[in-house]
Amino acid sequence: MKLLNKILVIFFTLLFSTNLAISGEKWDMALAYGAGNFHSANATAFAKSVTEKSGGKLTIVTHPGGSLYKGGEIFRAVRTGQAQIGERFMSALGKEDPLLEVDSQPFLATSYNDAMKLYKASKPEIVKGLDAKGLVFLYAVPWPAQGLYSKKEINSVADLKGLKFRAYNSATIRIAELTGMAPTKIEAAEISQAFSTGAVESMITSPTTGKNKKIWENGVGYFYDIAAWFPKNMVIVNKDAWNKLDSATQKLVMKEAALAERKGWDLSKKGNVADKKALADAGMKVGKVNSALQKHFQEVGATMAKEWADRAGSRGAGVLAAYR
């Protein structure tokens, strides 16, 4: 009997431990932005919810603040399966697919309603493009409206000339070029350092990013609310990792992704108001550009729209037709 008991104990221990190893998948989720950022907080809630509801079939572990992969590395990491899941700023990926930068074309969508319309119009083609690269698209959430930050007051196009400008994608590089600023592409994680060392003195980004970086501590006193576009982050999964899930778990992930998307858009809208107020409360001058500058940016936008249409070809034309 004793021997039989021992054999049984060993048998069940082995069965149990192999079960644990093979029944549950573990995904590492690479996040570029700090844990306190609303995108990261939203992704963390999504990961927690999936993990809790999957009954041990899928555990998603989040790695915020670029601790697993930096922003610029995340797309490739997920594509190659080094990370099973990750979040990336879509419009920094224009070289992968010009459709991914449609949301950073100035003045194409200047409200949350239009940003949602543009998202819906572009999503099918974007999802197809990602699928062809071995990626499953889960959800996308916009940053609040993009505005112009500057150390110096800006009252004319001439004031922009020669400004050392922090860019985050090809569209912001192009705006700088067409305006006479001197762009350098810098990931969000390096913003504070770039301003404090004087490497840059202006940028276009959300009130949220300026607030999160306490940008006023780096001598940046002005925020001009241009609100010309709402760029998005997207969450993508490596297709091999995706295919290892059973269909019930895949359904759960998609359902939680849709929920995270709704919550993310709401958080963004709240931040669009609250974070602008936070900049003003910190002593920054928050306002609009004058009409001459507004006109200038609109002209720059029109030039860029033509250039983008050329790059994006018939797929891009289809997206614009669906949007309009």
Q: What are the CA-CA distances from residue 71 to residues 34, 83, 92, 139 (Å)?
A: 11, 13, 10, 17
Closest CB 188 distance from ligand PCA, rounded Å: 4
Pick 206 or 238: Cβ nearer ligand PCA: 206
Site for ligand PCA in 73-92 (CB under 6 A): 89
Binding segment for ligand PCA (CB under 6 A), chosen from 19-27, 201-209, 266-274, 301-309, is 201-209
Beta bridge partners of 238: 135
Q: Contact between 223 and ligand PCA (CB under 6 A)?
A: no
Closest CB 32 distance from ligand PCA, rounded Å: 8
Site for ligand PCA in 12-51 (CB under 6 A): none
Contacts of 215 (CB under 8 A, 6+ apart): 149, 191, 192, 195, 209, 279, 284
Contact 297, 160 (CB under 8 A): no
Binding segment for ligand PCA (CB under 6 A), chosen from 23-31, 107-115, 116-124, 204-212, is 204-212
Site for ligand PCA in 124-183 (CB under 6 A): 143, 168
Q: Taking CB positions, which residue lies at the least distance from ligand PCA?
A: 206
Coil vs helix vs strand at 9: helix
Pick 252 or 289: Cβ nearer ligand PCA: 289
> 182: part of which helix (H) or strand (E)?
strand 182-185
What strands lie across the sheet with 164-167, from one edge to the other? 182-185, 164-167, 202-205, 147-150, 222-224, 285-287
Closest CB 89 distance from ligand PCA, rounded Å: 5
β pairing state of 25-30 and 85-89: parallel
Q: Contact between 206 and ligand PCA (CB under 6 A)?
A: yes
Q: Could you identify the residue written with the tokens 């770039």?
A: 194
What DSSP string runs through 113-127? Answer: HHHHHHHHHHHHHHH
d(CA 35, CA 58): 22
Closest CB 313 distance from ligand PCA, rounded Å: 26
Q: Contact between 231 and ligand PCA (CB under 6 A)?
A: yes
Pick 150 or 209: Cβ nearer ligand PCA: 209
Count of residues in contact with ligand PCA, rule CB under 6 A = 9
Pick 58 or 191: Cβ nearer ligand PCA: 191
Pick 79 or 166: Cβ nearer ligand PCA: 166
Pick 141 or 188: Cβ nearer ligand PCA: 188
- 250: phi then psi, degrees, rounded to nearest 5: -60, -40
Pick 72 or 134: Cβ nearer ligand PCA: 72
Closest CB 143 distance from ligand PCA, rounded Å: 3
Q: Contact between 209 and ligand PCA (CB under 6 A)?
A: yes
Pick 30 or 252: Cβ nearer ligand PCA: 30
> 286: part of which helix (H) or strand (E)?
strand 285-287
d(CA 187, CA 152): 22
Nearest to 45 by CA among 260, 243, 291, 236: 260
Binding segment for ligand PCA (CB under 6 A), chosen from 156-164, 173-181, 200-208, 281-289, is 200-208
Other C-beta atoms lying within 10 Å of the C-beta of residue 133: 13
Q: Contact between 104 and ligand PCA (CB under 6 A)?
A: no
Residues in touch with ligand PCA (CB under 6 A): 89, 143, 168, 188, 205-206, 208-209, 231
